[in-house]
Structure 1
Amino acid sequence: MTEQPCIERLGDLLCTVGESPVWHPGDQALYGTDIPARRLWRYTPADGQICQWQMPEMAGCIAMSATGWLAAMETGLYALPALTPDQPKPQATPLTTVDHAAPNMRFNDGRCDRQGRFWAGTMVQDMSLASDAGRLYRYADRKLTIPLAAPFIVPNGMAFSPDGGKMYLSDSHPDRQRVWVFDYDRDVGVPHHGRVFIERLPAGRPDGAAVDQDGGYWICGNDAGMLYRYTPDGRLDRSLALPVAKPAMCAFGGARLDTLFITSIRPPHAAKDALDGALFAFIPGPCGLEESAHIG
């Protein structure tokens, strides 16, 4: 049965592709990226304020770090300082470049594991090509490696179980639409024994995801305006209707980590007063887990 939760729109943010929401506990604010606009943004619940920063490249995903932020962009990984409103164009310091497997690629979904290793996938931007040149990278000890050799079209849906022993990953391209779960070696940061976790969502393509403190896997059903929760054993537990067709990614946040934030995509044909591209939030019941910061 589909639920109709009480979902609140937050602020007046409208993203072309709103992605990678990350709750920063120190700032008590939600950060994220608008990929095609080459912008990072911040929403502060206390006053409803939205700040935005211009980036030199498209940033597919971000993660907290000891000195500010880590951003996976088009050509590689960059370090950013702590973002403040008086720095509309913060300095992006290159950490490592990436030799893409095909032209016109960028980073897409990513996050840190529970130990602070940064994982991020790449994709060919023209999805109509259905190119499996996508790769999944791990950045740790200042090295960028590919511990999981399987090719992807659009790697997505990355999340880690509360104890860090499971890693979730999807391929959201229409030709794949599958979610896997891997056993994850926490000591060395390597996934293994991958198997299908969700063969196909009830409706929509699997997009960004988050895990709650009970191990529930929340995933956006892109193109269907849905959000789903699956139990750790792969059972569909909840189906929630959203006020936009293309939810992109969800993340837990708030002072008690009891709020689930949801970003969305605004298609070119969206009506002027449509909510597509907006930021939303609701109280799902289970609380989330604090996101790990990149350890360097």
Structure 2
Amino acid sequence: MRAQVFDPRPCVLGEGPLWHPLRQELFWFDIIACRLLARQGEITRMWQFDEHHSAAGWVDHDTLLIASETGLWRFNIETGQRDLVAPLEADRPETRSNDGRADRQGGFWIGTMGKHAEPGLGAIYRFYKGEVVRLFDGLTIPNAICFAPDGRMAYYACTKTGQINRQPLDAAGWPVGAPEVFIDLNDAGLNPDGAVVDAEGGIWNAQWGAGRVARYLPDGTFDRAISVGGVHSSCPAFGGPDLNTLFVTTAREDILAPDAAQGMVYACDAGVKGLQEPHILL
């Protein structure tokens, strides 16, 4: 299977795709260019910021929660107004936000990392009802944050380790016990980037440098892969009217002479339905 171009605007580091179910609109970020982009049919939009932004969740029809290198922000889609909800490593200019996603309980998980991927500077936090709590630290490039359909299991990776972990959660969405390695991609030479879970509990993982998104069954078994034109596939998201379209961001970063296919957003019929992203409780 191979995905087709959904949006041709090239991103240096495309990331954080989010399908807004009320607006039927896809949002995503170019982290390095400090931009938020969107497409709704043939209508495209773009917002420019003065710092890196990387991930988002939806609050209501006109509001996103967006993560930047200094905080979590309430963002008005129609006006572009950005208001601080909570600081996020605002006292650490050497780090920025990275992968993030809403959990099934209305919280928001967000990873941070060194701006030059310095070892061990990364962490994963959870924002829940106004409070930011650090869950994991000592990571390098936190990625693959996603959640099982019943909300009782979280998945995440540190790309540098080549492993995707799973973490049991309690009914309120907080970690219970220690995480364990779920999928080890080292023997395959693959680098786990962003991920999303479908309605059947399958985990779709974008694999940096491999130009593909791979699906793994709930027991960790490889199922199938979809190729995208961008070598650095970075993060998938389900969307479309029936939630059966898989969108995939890509990046031009670290490619010496990128061709036109690099950094675009791709889309295809995944052959399985996704889950609606939960709205975030502020």
Contact 1:13 1:50 in 2 (8 A): no
CA distance, structure 2, for counterparts of residue 223 and residue 192 of structure 1: 33
**Residue 225 of structure 2: SS of its match in structure 1?**
strand
Structure 2 residue aligned with 1:39: 35
Runs of 4+ in 1 over 3 A off after TM superposition: 99-103, 268-273
Correspondences of 1:35-74 after superposition (within 5 Å): 35-44=31-40, 46=41, 48-66=42-60, 68-74=63-69
Does residue 80 in structure 1 map to residue 75 in structure 2? yes
Does residue 196 in structure 1 map to residue 181 in structure 2? yes
- Aligned equivalent of 2:203, options 214, 217, 223: 217
**Residue 53 of structure 2: SS of its match in structure 1?**
coil
CA distance, structure 1, for counterparts of residue 269 and residue 255 of structure 2: 30
- Aligned equivalent of 1:106, options 86, 96, 106: 96
Structure 2 CA distance for partners of 1:101 and 1:194, relative to 1, 3 Å: farther
Task: Report the number of matched residues.
Answer: 280
Which letter maps to 2:14? G
CA distance, structure 1, for counterparts of residue 178 and residue 43 of structure 2: 44
CA distance, structure 2, for counterparts of residue 99 and residue 268 of structure 1: 26
Show structure 1 runs of 5+ residues with no match. Answer: none
> TM-score, normalising length from structure 1?
0.89
Contact 2:16 2:54 in 1 (8 A): yes
Structure 2 CA distance for partners of 1:193 and 1:123, relative to 1, 3 Å: same
Structure 2 CA distance for partners of 1:286 and 1:126, relative to 1, 3 Å: same
Structure 2 residue aligned with 1:136: 124
CA distance, structure 2, for counterparts of residue 92 and residue 289 of structure 1: 27
Structure 2 CA distance for partners of 1:159 and 1:80, relative to 1, 3 Å: same
Q: More displaced, 150-159 or 185-194?
A: 185-194
Structure 2 CA distance for partners of 1:109 and 1:269, relative to 1, 3 Å: closer
Which letter maps to 1:172? T
Cα distance, 1:100 vs structure 2: 6.3
CA distance, structure 2, for counterparts of residue 248 and residue 58 of structure 1: 16
Which letter maps to 1:97? P
Correspondences of 1:1-296 after superposition (within 5 Å): 5-44=1-40, 46=41, 48-66=42-60, 68-81=63-76, 83-84=77-78, 87=79, 90-99=80-89, 103-127=93-117, 129-130=118-119, 132-146=120-134, 148-173=135-160, 176-200=161-185, 202-267=188-253, 269=255, 271=257, 273-296=259-282
Q: Deviations over 1:119-160 (max 9, x none)?
A: 101100112x32x121111111211111x2442111100000
Q: Deviations over 1:158-183 (max 9, x none)?
A: 0001111110000012xx12110111
Contact 2:252 2:258 in 1 (8 A): no
Cα distance, 1:93 vs structure 2: 0.8
CA distance, structure 1, for counterparts of residue 236 and residue 173 of structure 2: 27
Cα distance, 1:240 vs structure 2: 2.9
Contact 1:213 1:286 in 2 (8 A): yes
Q: Deviations over 1:200-233 (max 9, x none)?
A: 1634310001111000000011011121110000
CA distance, structure 2, for counterparts of residue 71 and residue 43 of structure 1: 17
Q: More displaced, 255-264 or 66-75?
A: 66-75
Q: More displaced, 236-245 or 107-116?
A: 236-245
CA distance, structure 1, for counterparts of residue 25 and residue 101 of structure 2: 17
Structure 2 CA distance for partners of 1:295 and 1:150, relative to 1, 3 Å: same
